[in-house]
Structure 1
């Protein structure tokens, strides 16, 4: 497996290091770039998924938000087939772990027999002449200088280092920065959650994930999409506050610039949604669902990143597989409750409706949620929630391009701060200690203080001069 660490450095990772994901060896800027590309790709998937959801609710006449959310979540169990095809998953079930002997740097054992670290002998044909790359004259001179009675074997004995020694050799060939990243990545893999621990994490967060998705679906069925989008965009504000209180890393540090970027993003959502937003006299029911969904999404993302701060510490497909299994087992009695209370009458979908639900579940849920959470680990929880808001202008741009729908100029004005806020927070995550707004405010405060200090000093000097001028005539008269 080849991994590019930088423009001039590419290494081949041996099988003993294959448990380290490729993203672990990337630099911080490379991780941010890959995370941004993943999140933008997920936005495109979600735009297509939202259009398909509208088609299911309206054109296909199957307005059942709980049913669609339940079965889309159940499709996560496809990931559990990894226990059949992935050997590493089965080893986690039996408690097998990787050996990290090269981490024990304080213990150095020199084997008595050097051949003990080598594999058994294998014999390969010897390359001579043009095959070996040597000039023919050298080979001929060698043959002439050799006695005719001596014959050389046509094969070469080859022995390989053991996997542990190969890891040490690889680490020795890396640059300093690359070796540090590889060492940190190996330590993370040593702390990777087992299958049982991953199931416990999934059981903790599966309810939050389901409530967040169901609340958004219920809000769309009760209230127009414009108001739902405005209220759902508040998840970025909730994420900023929760991440500041419960940080998972240095990128979650609260800054004034991040706060202003989030406010600008919400303002952009309001401007975009005002193009087709109708203000109701009373507070609609969907508004409560939208706010509940945004809070659940923020809590799910921040708390999960605090529990698992890196993608190497947990298998994301295994996590979502257990989320689907737990929700399928726990949530099925809700069908009887919703049907008995007539909040959602149970109706079995037709074959065509099943096709739409399955397609939306596989692409819009199974694939997109995996890529979105992966992008969140590569960037930050705030960037991931801001990326969710970008689906609003992207979906409207898709309507302009495909359906030839015209939107007012206010829509295009509101899209600008949304995209600018997204990329601004990305830059702030790269330079974690950078807070330009706070720096400008500090300079303004310092300049005001210096002016007041200078003014006070000038007033003091003027007062002293006046006192001296008043005292001089009195002293002269004496």
Structure 2
């Protein structure tokens, strides 16, 4: 898109020192997010087990509903307000109409010349061009009277206008340019409506897992969502980069082996809750992968979707549509409805505001300052942090099977992230081809030596 080029040109005005400061700030923010997420998981486990308030549905509903705070952006963020009032839409329509007017149909030679002068030459340049024509005799430069004029289609009018805009003019239209290609408020609300149920079920599975097993086991098994994403993207591809490769197959096999070892280590937990917690963790990872793959099929580019607005509508629909779940779970006996104590209410509010709302905002900000690859790789740091938190805070002792399974899961997360970032990269296939070429070359050399020996 042309507006991406304009915005990249404006963002490249900073020095390298400023870019290094941005990168350092982004890394610090992502590390802070990892700490917040691990602390949020530990606090949730503490509420379920130590405060005797084992209500995963209530906890998920309360924290997800707090996403509605993002909708305050319609009061505080000017571009959102302009979308509501239609001001930005009218400015965009006028901007595009003015761009299409750059290449109006020309019928005569005089109109052709006028069109060329208006679109290609500013008044200052026109004045200098006239003065240069007077001195053309001294320079003895002759121009041909025959010119060729090619009229560009109206579809390229926006490109032509953006390419001629100066930096101050592009800065004046910055808010409007950022909305070019973005989904409207209605489109974002529709996508949020369809995906709020999958998002809620994925988080509910994570909360159920925290109520049954340790935080470290839950985070390790939840990190397999990247592998489920690779599998589902190969089955339901949204573009050519989602094809299945040998490297992705190796990452899946490595992760599945680690998951098996971690699940075996969870069998030491009494009452069989460790196995149930592992199954809940895998279910949450699979649902999150479904959410990622399906939303990628609905939105082809991530810059088209306003992420804070999306989460805000997810919280709103969660608050309006999912409250009947309390009645269903209460009368079926799966989770009796009970209001928490004042202390537990405080924990849930702090956990929701900091561990859910603020952490999502900080993670998006950290990805903006660094890159999506660094932001995704930073998620893997929750695995060692949660292990250390369980060992130091809850005095949990893990078996050797747990650590033997944590290593391949940790490595497969890195591999899956790199394979998703670098599209169509298959290092395993490249390595096998090089080994095959080396073996074939060696075989040909040996064959040539055998043929030359009789002649010698």
Same structural fold, with TM-score higher than 0.5 when normalized by the shorter chain: yes
1:301 to 2:292 alignment: yes
1:65–1:214 Cα contact (<8 Å) kept: yes
Other-structure match for 1:168: 165
Larger radius of gyration: 1
Other-structure match for 1:110: 118
1:215 to 2:214 alignment: no
Structure 1 residue 448: deviation in Å? 4.0
The total of aligned residue pairs comes to 391
Change (3 A) 1:429 1:409: same
Change (3 A) 1:227 1:395: closer
Other-structure match for 1:49: 40
Gaps of 5+ in 2: 1-6, 104-115, 125-160
1:340 to 2:331 alignment: yes
Report the 3-state secondary structure (helix = DSSP H, G, I; strand = E; otherwise coil) of the residue aligned with 1:347. Answer: coil
Choose the corresponding residue for 1:70, options 61, 65, 68.
Answer: 61
CA distance in 2, matches of 1:9, 1:229: 37
**CA deviation digits over 1:14-73, x for unaligned, max 9?**
xxxxxxxxxxxx9xx999999876654432221010011011111221110111111111
Change (3 A) 1:382 1:343: farther
CA distance in 1, matches of 2:100, 2:26: 33
Structure 1 residue 352: deviation in Å? 1.1
Which structure dedicates a bigger proportion of its chain to helix? 2
- Which structure's relative contact order is higher, taking Cα pairs within 8 Å and 6+ residues apart? 2
The 5 Å alignment of 1:89-238 reads 89-95=80-86, 96-97=88-89, 98-99=91-92, 100=95, 107=103, 110=118, 168-170=165-167, 189-222=179-212, 228-229=218-219, 231-238=221-228
Alignment TM-score, normalising by the size of structure 2: 0.68
Other-structure match for 2:149: none
1:271–1:413 Cα contact (<8 Å) kept: yes
The 5 Å alignment of 1:250-289 reads 252=242, 254-261=244-251, 263-264=253-254, 267=257, 277-278=267-268, 284-289=275-280
2:261–2:404 Cα contact (<8 Å) kept: yes
Gaps of 5+ in 1: 12-25, 116-163, 175-181, 466-478
Change (3 A) 1:203 1:381: farther
Change (3 A) 1:166 1:453: closer
Change (3 A) 1:383 1:428: farther
1:323 to 2:330 alignment: no
Structure 1 residue 93: deviation in Å? 2.2
2:230–2:416 Cα contact (<8 Å) kept: no
Structure 1 residue 242: deviation in Å? 2.1
Structure 1 residue 355: deviation in Å? 0.6
Change (3 A) 1:62 1:253: same
Structure 1 residue 363: deviation in Å? 1.3
Alignment TM-score, normalising by the size of structure 1: 0.65
2:380–2:410 Cα contact (<8 Å) kept: no
Other-structure match for 1:135: none
Structure 1 residue 305: deviation in Å? 3.0
1:316–1:370 Cα contact (<8 Å) kept: no
Change (3 A) 1:337 1:428: closer
CA distance in 1, matches of 2:40, 2:254: 26
CA distance in 2, matches of 1:113, 1:458: 75
1:364 to 2:355 alignment: yes
Other-structure match for 2:230: 240
Change (3 A) 1:3 1:46: farther
CA distance in 2, matches of 1:6, 1:397: 42
2:219–2:382 Cα contact (<8 Å) kept: no
2:216–2:387 Cα contact (<8 Å) kept: no
Tell me how large the CA RMSD over aligned residues is: 4.8
Other-structure match for 2:128: none
Structure 1 residue 6: deviation in Å? 7.3
Other-structure match for 1:14: none
